[in-house]
Amino acid sequence: MLNIILFSTMDECATKGPNNITVLYNYIGQDHHYKGAEMERKYQNEIKKNKNYGNGTYFTFLNKLLTSIS
């Protein structure tokens, strides 16, 4: 068992200022979730317009997960 409790994608998906953290534009979804992880209706509307919608977020997440467990 790997016992991974938490890993963060903030280093990959955000910039850190002295008083705040800002999610990078290409990861911002149509609601308060990351791009590609929105509520189902919002996600379906976007994926109809762009079949690659959210792929950047998805592959960033997978890469972080795989590097965290290896």
- Exposed/middle/buried for 35, CB within 10 Å: 0-12, 13-18, 19+? buried
Q: What is the pLDDT of residues 21-67, one digit of tens each?
A: 999 999 999 998 999 999 999 999 999 999 999 999 999 999 999 98
Give pTM, 2 decimals. Answer: 0.78
pLDDT of residue 69: 82
What is d(CA 65, CA 12) in angstroms, rounded to the nearest whole number?
Answer: 12
Q: What is the pLDDT of residues 5-15, one digit of tens each?
A: 788 999 999 99
Q: Where are the domains of the chain?
A: 10-69
- Signed CA dihedral, 31, 33, 34, 39: sign only: negative
- Residues 69, 60: contact at Cβ < 8 Å? no
